Amino acid sequence: MTDQLPLALRWPAHQRFDSFVAGANAAAVELLRAIAQGGEESWAYLAGASGSGRTHLLVAACACANAAGRSAQYLSLAALRTRRAEAIRGFGGSDLLAIDDLDAIAGEREAEHALFDLYNRCRAERASLLFAATAPAAQLGIGLPDLVSRLSACTQLALKPLDESARRDLLRDRALARGIELDDAALDWLFARGRRDLASLLAALDRIDRASLASQRRVTVPFLRSLLGKALDADEKGV
């Protein structure tokens, strides 16, 4: 099987296993790497909250599969606003398939049946299959019992959130990759004043990056206060 697009055009360079801050998820990362490379284990289900790195790991697995000479495809069900069942039916034909955001099809009968059929096709073709969602399949509200059963039979990987030290290191590294230096004082301010979940921290970094580039200013506590202070005050007041 061959890819239709070269690796550089398919998988963002920053989403690789080596750039993932694993923390307590090191064993999950190594299992996914083995699956991507065509190891004996070939089916896995990732469950984790927003910002836990589900998408990063699925994309990393696809890139790793390509590096090992295997073809791979990634599909985000949440990115599809309509015709999800049709998209699922047209998905497949690669050595590794990664399907993200299963939550999006919960309760959509046609899409659930299409995913069930895809599961069976992949099993017959001996393809590797990775799923990801915010929770285990039994908690998603999927109406097709056979699909829940199939998803639950995959190796279950519950992604654990990073502790604060690991989140600080990740944010500092991501900032440096953009040419931004976040010193301890800036990080202290962000963690004391803002939301501490990873998704919110990375969203704040996006704002910081744009504003710093536009103003050509260093990122200091006064800069952060002027940029984010009002928004964070509104969050605290529930505005």
> What domains lie within the chain, and their CATH numbers?
7-158 (3.40.50.300), 164-237 (1.10.8.60)
pLDDT, tens digit, 9 for 90 and up, residues 18-43: 988 888 999 999 999 999 999 988 99
Name the 3-class secondary structure at 205.
helix
> Which DSSP state fits 13?
T
b/e burial code for range 81-93 (CB count within 10 A of at least 16 → b): eeebbebbbebbe
In tens, the pLDDT along 54-92 reads 999 999 999 999 999 999 999 999 998 889 999 999 999
Q: What percent of the chain has pLDDT over 70?
A: 92
pLDDT band of residue 6 (cuts 50, 70, 90) is very low
| DSSP 8-state symbol, 5 | S
pLDDT in tens, 126-167: 999 999 999 999 999 999 999 999 999 999 999 998 889 988
Asked if pLDDT for residue 189 goes beyond 80, the answer is yes
What are the pLDDT digits (tens) for 199-224?
A: 789 889 999 999 999 999 999 999 99
Which structure tokens are listed for 227?
Answer: 């940029």
Residue 195, pLDDT score: 85
Question: What's the alpha-carbon Rg for the chain, to the nearest Å?
Answer: 20
Quick one: residue 8, left, alpha or beta (phi over 0 = left, psi -120 to 50 = alpha)? Answer: alpha
Q: If DSSP codes are grouped into helix, strand and coil, which group holds residue 156?
A: strand
- Higher model confidence: residue 86 or residue 1? 86
Asked whether the predicted pLDDT for residue 237 surpasses 50, the reply is: no
Q: Choose the most confident range, by mean pLDDT, from 7-16, 172-181, 223-232.
A: 172-181
Q: What pLDDT score does 46 carry?
A: 98
- Can you give the pLDDT at residue 70? 96
CA distance 157 to 130: 10
To which residue do tokens 């984010």 refer? 228
pTM to 2 decimal places: 0.79
CB count within 10 Å of CB 180 equals 17
